[in-house]
Amino acid sequence: MDASDPKAVEIVEPTAKRIRTDAPSNTDEVATFAPTPVPVSTSGSADAAVSEAPRAQNKPTSTQDSTHVNGRRQDQRDSGVAPIKAEYLLTGADASRVAASAIDYDLAEGREETGGGGDNRSNNNKKGKDKRKKQTGQNNDRFFGATGDANPLCNTRVFNSEFSPRECPFGESCKRVHDLRKYLQEDRRPDLESFGGLCPVFDTYGECTSGWKCRFVKSHSKEITHEDGRKELILLKKNIDGTIGPANASNNHETEGVQPGLVNIVSSKDKIDLARRRVDMDDIEKYVKWIDNEGRLNNEYQNRRKREDEAEVQKDMSAQYVEPPMLPSEKRRLYFAAETPVVAPLTTQGNMPFRRLAVELGAEFTYSEMALSRPLVQGVKSDWALMRAHETEAAPPRVNPNYKNIVFDYDNSRDMRFGAQISGNAPWQVIKAAFALNRFCDRLRVIDLNCGCPVDSQYQTGCGAALLEAPAKIERMVRGMNAVSGEIPITAKIRTGVKSNRPVAPQVLTRLAFGGAEHRERLGAPGCAAVTLHGRSREQRYLKRADWGYIAECGAIVEDYNAQVGALQDTIREPDERTLANSKGGRLFFLGNGDCYSHEEYFDHVNNGKVDSVMIGRGALIKPWLFEEIRTGQYLDKSATERLGYIEKFVKYGLDAWGSDEHGVNYTRRFLLEWLSFTQRYIPVGILERLPPSLNDRPPPFKGRNELETLLASGDSRDWIKISEMFLGPAPETFRFVPKHKSHAYEVQG
């Protein structure tokens, strides 16, 4: 069913309204980089632009007294409950029904296996811990059911005409279907009718990468009659001149698994070579041994300086110094500023279709989902798949060449939008992973080291936020990654600390900016190009607001560091400029992260939080046009039809990324439902009594301005399934969707 079909959605709405509030405090900066308004969809297409919308309606926004405390604006108003206009509030039975379906996001997002954010690494008695474990509302070990055909077609038939199949290497023992007509009539689900029955992949590229398995195969196949009267089924493709003709089966076979429009595609051979240790890493092994020895010397230095004269210890340590086997290559220059909002690396949610949509709406930088270093080094397919990006992410960002943050020798034509994020618990893991990423992925802006992931599965193994308790290890990791990553800069993402009452960000920032005191004379700085600080501790998760006051304090430290580079009076401790990222000047970029949900908050953080840019996570998931609002400097009251248009685009991009066969359709459905679990939290600005909206405000039970808007606000996963079926048809009987919160599980009823 096509969302633009009036039978599917019998609602006619105006396009997005621009809602102006008081001008942002940095109106000069907005004027500097705000281009022509971004085109947006009005009915599932991208034909209409904001400039064609009716004249913006000035909606009064209640002005509250506000102040800035340590870089954070303090609003003098009640918090915790969204201020929805009275005419949209529900009462009685309707309110009870909606309230029953509301998700507790502290449980769904902020909690995991243990039911708490404390340190459980010392608890090895897992059975006892499980018995005493506090029950939470989160689902773990989620299973989504079978995603492929019940009787799959043999791969030797997928791209070939009916009378020209490839020889099956398994012969009669093959358990897959070889009779093409039988497969099409009996062993697959019917073709989808959404998008007018036209395959989105074929429509975009002129050829479908799913062949006969495509759920839209009727749109790119036909039956032909030969001279002898035999009828044959053949696949079609678009020719260069625009005509439709038979597909070349041999070309399809040669490019099987290769998708147009994507970058960072790592071949099966390369992954097998990694898995079988056939990739030459002898030089990397030498460097790993050297960095491990530096760790031993650092421990010795820290122990001796407590009981001996520091100058003597430094002299003795210098005598033991061994030159590193390799020095960092010159890095590609980076650029972050108010005009470059960043999409945070998001596990599960930060998939390619979502990132592609975010870039289309104005995001300038994106990151992969977090990949684990060890599986990357071992050639694991699932982790290398996270490195794939759309060609729009490989394009240079839109920047103002005269902006103050442009560093020496920055070349926009060599820059790109997409970066990789990795995690690991030992220097050798991340060093080898950085080497492999540099060797096999040619379109990476940065490699980011995750030092902030709060989930127990990472923390208990010494990854993520656990690294915050070992700043010297973080330094060795970044130093090693910097030496082997070629021209790709190294960055890091951290939290305020592990415990709320013991913040450690300043110590970590000092290490990342200049290196430890014991290393500065001998080794220089580790070469970190940028640091992102999430304004929460691991212990807090999402239970409290991000502390932008603390981010501002750390931003002041970074400002001081940037001012000191090249002008340190203590030349003995001055870092070697060869080891500084973004030289000359060695500027360290600093980004903030946490709770950004409006353009007003974004510019407030840039102006008062002492950050170069803001990394946006949940706010972008809930309303991806937040980047468009940042570019235009105003609120956009998106209609429900426009929002449905973004969902339609996500579906098309999902089929493009994961395939239009049964597996790809259900994979797209699963990640669409994951995204809808966030988008349903959006409260249209047109029904709010006052602005700005707050990410942490919970809505009382409310109805939308029409039935579609009410449907999009539903917290019931059965309604999310209905939305997915508008574009992907009925879910198969084997499909299950298990959201993070247990009360929202959905299973298809046979």
Catalytic residues: 453
For residue 692, how many other CB atoms are within 10 A of its CB? Answer: 18
Distances (CA, A) of 706 to 27, 59, 413, 710: 35, 20, 46, 6
Cα end-to-end span (Å), the chain: 21
Distance CA 211, CA 222 (A): 12
DSSP, collapsed to helix, strand or coil, labels residue 603 as helix
CA distance 466 to 309: 32
Which residues, in sequence order, are CB contacts of 527 under 8 Å at separation 6+? 328, 331, 478, 479, 482, 490, 579, 580, 581
> Token pair for residue 734?
């084997």
Q: How far apart are CA 670 and CA 735, in angstroms?
A: 9
What's the angle, vertex CA 587, arms to CA 583 and CA 588, rounded to 5?
130
**Peptide bond before 692: cis, by omega within 30 degrees of 0?**
yes
* Calpha distance 285→298 (Å, rounded): 20
C-alpha 385, offset from chain centre? 13
Please give the backbone phi and psi of residue 640, each rounded to the nearest 5 degrees, phi first.
-65, -35
Are 575 and 524 spatial neighbours (Cβ–Cβ below 8 Å)?
A: yes
**Buried b / exposed e along 272-309 (16+ C-beta atoms within 10 A):** eebeeeebebeebeebbebbeebeebbeebeeebeeee
Is residue 572 within 8 Å of 521, Cβ to Cβ?
Answer: yes
Q: Are 673 and 656 in contact, with CB atoms under 8 Å apart?
A: no
Closest CA to 711 of 656, 640, 652: 640
**Greatest distance between any 2 Cα atoms in the chain:** 98
* DSSP secondary structure letters along 101-124: T---HHHHTT--TTSS-S--TT--
- DSSP secondary structure, 652-712, as one string: HHHHHHH-SBHHHHHHHHHHHHHHHHHHTT---GGGBSSSS--TTPBPPSB--SSHHHHHH
Residue 520 φ/ψ, nearest 5 degrees = -60, -40
* Helix orientation angle between 662-679 and 352-360, rounded to the nearest 10 degrees: 60
As a whole number of angstroms, the distance between CA 165 and CA 178 comes to: 9
CB 307 within 8 A of CB 295: no
Whole-angstrom distance, CA of residue 284 vs CA of residue 629: 45
Q: Are strands 342-343 and 613-616 parallel, antiparallel or unpaired?
A: parallel
